[in-house]
Amino acid sequence: MEVPTTEHLTGPTPAMPQQKRTRVKRSSSSWWYHTANWLGLLPFLLFCLIFEILPALMLLQGSFNDNQGAFTFGNYQHMFAQSGTIHAFETSIELSLVSAVISTILGFFAAYGVYRLHSNWLRNLITGFSSLTANFAGVPLAFAFISTLGVTGFVTVLLRNVLHIDLYNLGFSLYNFWGLVLTYVYFELPLMVLITLPSLSALRPEWSEAATNLGASNLTYWRKVALPVLMPSLVAALMLLFANAFGAYATAYALAQGGINLVTILISFAVAGNVSIDVGLGNALAMGMVIVLCLAVSLYTYMLRRASLWQGR
Amino acid sequence: MSTQATQINSARPRQRGLHNLNVGKILLFLVMLYLLVPLAATLVISFTGSPFSVKAYSDLFTDSNLWTTLLLSLGLGIGSTILTVVLITPTAYWVQLRIPRARPLIDLLTLLPFAVPPIVLSLGYLEVYGDSHTWISILSLGLVPLLSNDPFNIVNTPQLLICAYVIIALPFAYRPIDNSLRALNTRVLAEAASSLGCGWWRTFLTIIIPNILPGIISAALLTFTTAMGEFTLASLSGIYTFSVYLDETGQNDPYKAAALTIVSFIITLLCVLALIFLARQRGASKKKTGNIEIAAAR
């Protein structure tokens, strides 16, 4: 059991005073039981408080403070007035959404391909490889793409020498929007494959059998049965990928070196003490990010709950 | 049983036409190609020289910075892994057994890091541990002032990074442990142990832990990979970890960058292999339930 301590979290239980009136002895032990219950969570709650909750609260407070610590809406006005910061939000959202949509669609079909594979070892190999590449992100990933599609990258040079196609003359660049999309898709695609596989396995064979018995074609089965059942999981996956891309900093930083205007890059200027962004504005930008991400994560949890309705998980 | 299985298997290709089957497989092939090409290209570039050279690697391995940063990152990885397991496992068990009412709160706390990415977290730490605020001191029960002054000063130290990594890895670490706890009949086990005179800690250490080991292992390895590869917080708090070294060295020399990418790929590969191997070994008796969990790396 827990070691008795004097400090405890706020509010044991509302039921406590009522019980006290009826039976004194039992109520004191039940009061102790409830307090002990919460006390067991104390280390974890305290850890989350000082390393997770308080930083977030401080950002909220700081976003309403000016340099002298007085209350102001100035940071937000600043944020909405500058075309640069608005543009950064647009670019970040666009980049995350485009890469998430591409990964969701391609990843879904690829996952279907894995699901239809008959050989077990091949399926395991692909799943393992997917979890490997899904974890391969950040600086190394950026370097891998520079080695592949950078100006002197292997594929760029190969195309130029063998097929006489010069990607960079055709307007392609790894260091702008589409280059980043290509790089983000690299770790989002395998992630999508991994999170879609369980949902696909949850499709019951009976459903397709029943549909076929009732004369449904393959296409009708997918349109009327499988896709509606899978839709919540797909939207949840899309939101997860979006949130993942929206918060990403290392990949964009290592690839474009501040050459692309993203919210995460602007916030890093504020952290590093760069003069172009003061800390108040940085706080406001961070709050903006948190709000967008909260929307995505709420939709994600809501859709997961919807998905569990059909998939019994 | 077996006839049923064969029936389903033989029925499958007929029901869903050839058309669908091909689209999935062709796309799967293309996706795999897309995932393989950058790795292959990087491998080729890392050996580029006249005509084949290991110079990039020999230069790297003689650089003492590689080994010191690798050692530091390894320490950070191990530190945050231990802290994660020690913090999360008893908490998840406690919630399951004693206070299921707290589950929504815990779920919220473990989901929140998705909404507070490392870059935001680093700015938040700068604010919390930067100057002293009275209400922060009170709200944190005096812990923040304690941690931002000597002798326990953790501002911009590897210790703060370890704590931050525990938070970042929370969504990936909590779920596998919680899932394996839910699959277990915790209450019955705890009551049986208790009626046989087994104390709380002994029940936890000798009965619960061995049963949820697959979940703990995958949580541990996911935390470890996250901590090993994390760049944002380390670079912004000025701590010279492996990924910061990688960035710094690679920006000036494309061959070294390629070689370093291969080195870090091999580290990730080892982690994932360990994950698959351990999950398979432990989950062998339970069929395929020990599916590999994944981290969304940044």
Domain residue extents for chain B: 1-46, 58-283
- Which position has the token pair 């899309």? A238
The average pLDDT across A94-110 equals: 92
Does A204 have pLDDT greater than 70? yes
- The burial of A203, by beta-carbon neighbours within 10 Å (0-12 exposed, 13-18 middle, 19 or more buried), is given as middle
Confidence of residue B151 (pLDDT cuts 50, 70, 90): low
Does A189 have pLDDT greater than 60? yes
The answer to which of A106-110, A207-211, B18-22, B52-56 has the lowest mean pLDDT is: B18-22
How far apart are the C-alpha atoms of B69 and B268, rounded to whole Å?
A: 16
CB distance A133–B269 less than 8 Å? no
Does B294 have pLDDT greater than 60? no
Is the previous residue joined to B51 through a cis bond, with omega within 30 degrees of 0? Answer: yes
Query: What is residue A100's predicted lDDT score, i.e. its pLDDT?
Result: 94
Nearest-by-CA chain B residue for A65? B127
pTM: 0.82
DSSP-derived 3-state class of residue B253: coil
Does B226 have pLDDT greater than 70? yes
Does A216 have pLDDT greater than 70? yes
The average pLDDT across A258-283 equals: 81
Which residue in the set B44, B109, B144 is minimally distant from A52, CB to CB?
A: B109
> Hey, which residues does A71 pair with through a beta bridge?
A65
Contacts of residue A198 in chain B, CB cutoff 8 Å?
291
Is the previous residue joined to B254 through a cis bond, with omega within 30 degrees of 0? Answer: no
Q: Residues B58-283: name the CATH superfamily.
A: MetI-like (1.10.3720.10)
Confidence of residue A93 (pLDDT cuts 50, 70, 90): very high
- The burial of B155, by beta-carbon neighbours within 10 Å (0-12 exposed, 13-18 middle, 19 or more buried), is given as middle
How far apart are the C-alpha atoms of A277 and A261, rounded to whole Å?
A: 13
Confidence of residue A11 (pLDDT cuts 50, 70, 90): very low
Burial per residue of A209-241, b for 16 or more beta-carbon CB atoms within 10 angstroms, e otherwise: eebbeeebebeebbeebbeebbebbbbbbbbbb
Does B10 have pLDDT greater than 70? no
Contacts of residue A106 in chain B, CB cutoff 8 Å?
27, 31
Indicate the average pLDDT of chain B.
Answer: 78
Does A213 have pLDDT greater than 60? yes
DSSP for B40-93, written as a single string: HHHHHHHTBSSSB--HHHHHHHT-HHHHHHHHHHHHHHHHHHHHHHHHHHHHHH
CATH code linked to domain A74-311 = 1.10.3720.10
Alpha-carbon gap: A21 to the closest alpha carbon of chain B (Å) = 24
What are the structure tokens assigned to A214, written together? 């009732």
Higher local confidence (pLDDT), B165 or A256: B165
The average pLDDT across A108-133 equals: 85
Tell me how many degrees the CA angle A47-A241-A225 measures, rounded to the nearest 5.
120
The answer to which of A145-159, A232-246, B52-66 has the lowest mean pLDDT is: B52-66
Alpha-carbon gap: A23 to the closest alpha carbon of chain B (Å) = 23
Query: What is residue A168's predicted lDDT score, i.e. its pLDDT?
Result: 77
Indicate the average pLDDT of chain A.
Answer: 81
Confidence of residue A76 (pLDDT cuts 50, 70, 90): confident
**ipTM confidence score:** 0.80
The average pLDDT across A114-126 equals: 84
Nearest-by-CA chain A residue for B129? A55
Top-ranked range on mean pLDDT: pick from A52-66, A253-267, A284-298, B274-288: A284-298
Window 221-240 of A: residues touching B by CB (8 A cutoff) are 221-222, 240
Q: Is B192 on the interface with A (CB under 8 A)?
A: no
| B231 neighbors B29 (Cβ within 8 angstroms) | no
Alpha-carbon gap: B2 to the closest alpha carbon of chain A (Å) = 16
pLDDT tens digits, B98-108: 888 888 899 89
Contacts of residue B121 in chain A, CB cutoff 8 Å?
55
pLDDT tens digits, A28-65: 678 888 888 888 888 899 888 888 888 888 888 888 87
The average pLDDT across B191-205 equals: 84
Percent of chain A with pLDDT over 90: 14
Window 272-311 of A: residues touching B by CB (8 A cutoff) are 272, 279, 282-283, 286, 289-290, 293-294, 296-297, 300-301
Query: What is residue B276's predicted lDDT score, i.e. its pLDDT?
Result: 76
- Spell out the domain ranges in chain A: 24-62, 74-311
Query: What is residue B2's predicted lDDT score, i.e. its pLDDT?
Result: 40
Alpha-carbon gap: B58 to the closest alpha carbon of chain A (Å) = 19
The average pLDDT across B188-199 equals: 84
Does A239 have pLDDT greater than 90? yes
How far apart are the C-alpha atoms of B185 and B206, rounded to whole Å?
A: 15
Does B20 have pLDDT greater than 90? no
Phi, psi of A215 (to 5 degrees): 90, 15
- The burial of A100, by beta-carbon neighbours within 10 Å (0-12 exposed, 13-18 middle, 19 or more buried), is given as buried
Does A312 have pLDDT greater than 60? no
Which residue in the set B99, B254, B271 is minimally distant from A152, CB to CB?
A: B254
Does A74 have pLDDT greater than 60? yes
Does A300 have pLDDT greater than 60? yes
The answer to which of A74-83, A183-192, B165-174 has the lowest mean pLDDT is: A74-83
